[in-house]
Each structure stands twice: as structure tokens, then as C-alpha cells.
Structure 1
Amino acid sequence: MTTPRFDIIGQALSDASRTRMLCELMEGRSFTNKELASAAGITAQTATAHLRMLQNAGLVLAEKRGRCVFHRLANAEVAGVLEQLAAIAPSSHLHLAQRRKAGDIAQLRSCYDHLAGPVAVALTGKFLDRDMLIEENGGFRACGHEIWQKLGVCLPQRPSAAEARQPFARPCMDWTERRLHVSGPLGKQILAHFFDQGWVTRNSHKRGLQITGLGSRALQEILDLRCEELINA
């Protein structure tokens, strides 16, 4: 029987500089060693050693492009685990403290390749209320519904071997809200469509997103979701 090496993952996550770099990578984009060093407040040489440990733990991948080496999270599963670990990370006055820690990204942000924050949680609630998502066996199942087309989502025609390994719609525990938002290929399609339609834009914080007036009107029309009330709460 193969025993999971949790100790390797635990060691990789046990340093504050490494966790800061991982949080930077949760935006979903790739960064150079120097950029991650700046984000963590350490030297490039120290960042190199940290990134090597994260790579050995299977959390980060390095890709050489031209003369630069770019680093990114290994996959969406790693991002989902990090988001859920952030949700249970100890803090005094937990919920408010986490919101303050998140700053401008608390209301709407990217969690690797999908939406997170109060707006994402409210969206997921609308999907469940309208039977677009069904909770079963601890996960989500997306059901055929014309509203998905308006949100730029193409549902799989039939379950495949890949779908069995990586469900189309997955629940992800939101860091600040302590409630579920949707991830997986479904969440990725939603975020991509929101960018394509100009419904969300990036703000000054790299993970932070800003919902536009166009996006706010579209979501109210399609799902009766009043984003202003969530953002100003």
C-alpha cells in the first residue's frame, strides 16, 4: 500500500515566504523568480531555493520561455487545496480578519482559474436555487439549462473518462466566506466568459477583480443577482 507523503507537502507549506509566493501564483498566471521574490519580500537567490522545494513537492511547475523561467501552480487541484487551506488557516476573529487580510480582493477575486469571494458564492447559490447545479455525493452536477449558454458555458454531452477523474463542476470552499463556490471546468468557463464579455476586469491587486456596470446589469438580468448589494455589504 502506498502511503501519501503529507510530510513533504507540510514542509513545503511551513515557510511564510513560500506561502506568500503560492498565494501570488493563485492568480493563475506565471511569474518569474524575481517577481515572486519581490512579492515575498526576499532575495532572488532565496526565492530560487524556495521554488525548488515547492517544485519537489509537486505544487509548482517551472517553464523556460526564451531567456526567462516562469513559475506557475502545478494545476487547478493545487489551487483548490490552497484555497481550502486558507479557509481553515488560524486567525483571531476569523471571518473579519480574513476579509481584512484579503483587502480589496475579498469581494471578487480569481482563485486560479475560477471566481471566488461573495459574488462567486452568491452565483453558486443562484445555480443551486435554479437547479442548474445539483448537490450530490459531496459534489456538484451541472444540469442542462438554457441559462448556461448565456453565461458562456458548454456542458459536456456525456460523462467521459476524463470527467470521472476531474468532475466538470466541483465545490470549492471560499477562503473569506466559509461557503462553497463552483470550480472545475465549469468555473473556468464562467470566468473566461466574464472576461471576454467585459463583465469583470482586474483591479490593482493581481487576484482582485472588479465587476463592471455591464457585468452587473447582465447578472441581474440573467440570474436576478444584485452585485452592488454584495460588493457594498
Structure 2
Amino acid sequence: MITPRLDITGHALANASRARMLCAMMDGRAWTNKELAADAGVTPQTASAHLHHLEEAGLITQRRSGRCLYHRIAGPDVAAMLEHVARLTPLDHLIRAQRARAAGLAPLRRCYNHLAGAIAVALCDALIMKGALQRVDEGLIAQRSPLWARLGVVVPEGASPRPSLARPCLDWSERRDHIGGALGQAILEHALAEDWIQPAGSRRGLRLTAHGRNTLTTVIGCDPDGLSHA
């Protein structure tokens, strides 16, 4: 029997500076050593050691372009794992600053390559209620529905009946699912292109525009103003 080396992953995560770097890279972009060092509040030399550790653990990948070495999350599976771990982290009086920062990301943010936060959860619930998505066991399947055309979202080829293309991702702030996978990525890219959402505050933070709010309300029947933050 092969035992998973959870200790390697756990050791890579068991450092505040490395954790901050991973959180920064959860915006889906590639970052330089200097950028990650500044974000984590460490020297570039220390950042290099941490990034080497994260790469050896399989959590990030590196790519050189010109004179710069770029670092990014290794893929959607790693991003999903980090998002799930984030919801299990303790929120007590010792980390009030982190809790305040998390609260700022709760309404709407990027979860690697798809939308997360209370608004994303409400969107997922509304699409299920309208029949555009269907829960099957622990997965989601995109259904043939005129709602996708009304939204202008192109459902990835073969999204039904392949649940992996509309993967549920458990939201750390809401403790309910938002939409991950290829369909989640398609929704995020379309929302940005159509100016439903715009970057805000934190590098992962997003804000819903008036156009986006109107689309969610009139097309899907999703009420962003009526969201509760559990």
C-alpha cells in the first residue's frame, strides 16, 4: 500500500510567509520573486528559499521569461486544495487582521480561475434552481438550457454529462459550493469581458458592477443585495 506523503504538503504549508505567497498566487497570475517577497514581507533571498520549497512540494510551477523567473499555482487541483484548507483555518482573537482581510474577500473574489464568495455561491444556487445546473451525487452537470445563451456564456464542449467540467468547489467563506472547473472558468472570463465584474482592493478581490448586478437580477433572478454572509 502506498501512503500519500501528506507530511510533505503539510510542511510546505506550515510557514506564514509561504502561506502568504500561495494566497497571492491564488489570483491565477504568475508572480516574480521580488513581487512575492514584497507581498510576504521578506527579503528576495528568503523568498527564493520558500519558493524552492513550494516547488519541491508540487504546489507551484516556475517558468522563465527573459530575465525573470515567474511562479504560479501548479494547477486547479492545487488551487482547490488551498481553497478548502482556507475554510478550515482557525479564526480566533490571535489573527484578527487575517479575519478582517478575509471578510473583505467574502462577497466576491477569484478562486484561482473561477468566481468565489457569497455572490458566486448565490449564482450557483440560482443556476441550479433555474435548471441550468444539476447536482449529481457530489458533482454538478451543466444542462442544456436557454439561460446560458441569455447570459452569453458559452458552455464548454461536452460539459454534459461530464461533471468535471462544472466542478463544485466548497467556498471557505460561505461553507457552500460555488462553480469551479472549465465552466467556472468560462463564467469568470465572460464576466470580466462583459464588465459584470472588475478588480477591487485585494489582488483576488472583485466587485460587481451595476451592469453585472442588473444581469444577475433580471436574467437569473439572483439578488446580490439579499445575500447573507454565514
104-113 or 131-140, larger mean C-alpha shift:
131-140
Name 2:18's counterpart in structure 1: 18
2-11 or 21-30, larger mean C-alpha shift:
2-11
Name 1:45's counterpart in structure 2: 45
Q: Kindly indicate whether residue 81 of structure 2 is the aligned counterpart of residue 81 of structure 1.
A: yes
Q: Is the 8 A contact 2:141 2:159 kept in 1?
A: no
Q: CA deviation at 1:98?
A: 7.2
State the distance in 1 between where 2:212 and 2:79 align.
25
Q: CA deviation at 1:97?
A: 8.8
Residue type at the aligned position of 1:218: T
Structure 1 segments (4+ residues) deviating >6 Å: none
SS of the equivalent of 1:115 reads: strand
Q: Structure 1 regions of 5+ residues with no counterpart?
A: none
Name 2:209's counterpart in structure 1: 212
Q: Kindly indicate whether residue 175 of structure 2 is the aligned counterpart of residue 174 of structure 1.
A: no
Q: 1:190 to 1:101 in 2, by over 3 A?
A: same
How do residues 126-137 of structure 1 correspond to structure 2 at under 5 angstroms? 126-137=126-137
State the distance in 1 between where 2:16 and 2:59 align.
15
State the distance in 1 between where 2:114 and 2:159 align.
23
TM-score after normalising by structure 2: 0.91
SS of the equivalent of 1:2 reads: coil
Name 2:185's counterpart in structure 1: 188
Aligned pair count reads 227
Q: CA deviation at 1:232?
A: 9.7
Residue type at the aligned position of 2:69: V
Q: CA deviation at 1:92?
A: 2.8
Q: Is the 8 A contact 2:118 2:229 kept in 1?
A: no
Identity of aligned residues (%): 43
How do residues 1-233 of structure 1 correspond to structure 2 at under 5 angstroms? 1-92=1-92, 100-149=100-149, 150-157=151-158, 167-230=164-227
Deviations 1:63-92 (A, max 9, x none): 101110110000011111100100111223
Deviations 1:199-221 (A, max 9, x none): 10101211000111111111111
State the distance in 2 between where 1:121 and 1:154 align.
19
Q: Is the 8 A contact 1:62 1:70 kept in 2?
A: yes
